[in-house]
Copies of this chain bind each other. A is one copy, B any other.
């Protein structure tokens, strides 16, 4: 088996992407869902830090490059359909979301409204150095 056969087993979308769920390896909090292409996943596994594919910027997104909020990868999993990846990560800085919250899933449905239920731990302006 070639060293990249594991990448061939993934069912990539027609755009060459796979959705990736990042979960905190410590307490199981779901931090974010983003996308990877083949190169991003390969770099993630080789380097041990999460590298995503930014669909909006159409380029590799080395998570935490600006913010310092890197994700140290403890485990990589694949689902039964081979079309979703899950990472167990150590979230540096304890903040995964660009809004300064721990998790991107901070909106909870309450009586037909999305309500922000997670605190902003750090002002994004100070995270990204443009404040």
Q: Which residues of A contact B (CB under 8 A)?
A: 1, 3-6, 9, 19, 21, 23, 27-30, 32-33, 45, 75-82, 84, 86, 97-99, 101, 104-109, 112-114
Contacts and interface: CB of A to CB of B under 8 A. Distances in A.
A105 B30 CA distance: 14
A78 B78 CA distance: 23
Contact of A109 (B27, B78, B105): B78
Contacts of A112: 1, 3-6
A45 to B, nearest CB: 7
Copy tally for this chain in the complex stands at 2
A38 B114 CA distance: 16
B77 A108 contact: yes
Contact of A113 (B6, B27, B30, B32): B6
